[in-house]
Amino acid sequence: MTEPSPGPAAETYRDQVADIMDSRAADVPYPPGAPELTVVNRRLATSTADLNEVEIVQLRACIADGVLEDTLADPELQVEAAEVVDASGAVRYRLYGWNYGCGWLFPPDGLDVVAFAAQHDLEHWSLAQRDLFAGMDRALRAGGHGFRQPLFFCWADDSCWEKIADAAPHSVQSEPYLRRLFGLAGA
């Protein structure tokens, strides 16, 4: 089945951003601590019928209750949902993205958000994310998964990580706000 087009402007924007993301690929090997991850079960979610119960809960937290159905039905936004599995096939994360650079990485269950992207760049919240970002970068660059929203998991630029090296847990960028919004401990 062919997916609906978001329209020529959104398609052009997404393609141009994808080219930029490709040009930002690190020219160093992935670190040995980067997990071996694979993006699977990618779907274009046009209604809640395309999602499982956990995905609905996570997306309702991100999008706002009462607006999720309208957002999913909007062909310009093209909300994508996918699972991220490890080498054994176990679901380790749930990945969401939609047009104009929104991205979310959640655990398999619950709202303890792992990473968030605005304008395609995943925010750096803690040094513990670095290996995960490398694993996610490798998984998305592997291709064949169908996930189309360009997301940049910056892992190789030391300056990004130096900026947050001494930050208190849950204190930088959007993380404190999101943790409060989702009712998480440490907010």
pLDDT at 63 over 80: yes
Q: Is the pLDDT of residue 49 over 90?
A: yes
Q: Of 150, 148, 163, nearest to 122 (Cα)?
A: 150
What tens digit of pLDDT does each residue of 76-89 get?
Answer: 899 999 999 999 99
Which strands, in side-by-side order, build the sheet including 38-44? 38-44, 80-85, 91-98, 102-106, 115-118, 121-122
Per the CB < 8 A criterion, the answer to whether 79 and 59 are in contact is: yes
pLDDT band at 186 (very low <50, low <70, confident <90, very high): low
Query: Which of 39, 109, 110, 43 minimizes the C-alpha distance to 79?
Result: 43
- Confidence at residue 11, expressed as pLDDT on a 0 to 100 scale: 76
Residue-wise pLDDT tens digits, 95-141: 999 988 999 999 999 999 999 999 999 999 999 999 999 999 999 99
Residues 123, 117: Cα–Cα separation, whole Å: 6
The gap between the terminal CA atoms of the chain, to the nearest Å, is: 43
Q: Which residue has the higher pLDDT, 67 or 21?
A: 67
Place of tokens 């792992």: 114
Is the pLDDT higher at 94 or at 27? 94
**How much is the pLDDT for 10?**
72
> What's the CA angle centered on 122, arms 53 and 27, to 5 degrees?
125
| Three-state secondary structure call for residue 65 | coil
The structural domains of the chain, with segments of one domain joined by +, span: 8-181
| Stronger pLDDT, 154 or 12, i.e. the higher one | 154
Q: What is the pLDDT of residue 8?
A: 74
Q: What is the mean pLDDT of the chain?
A: 91
The widest CA-to-CA distance across the chain, in whole angstroms, is 49
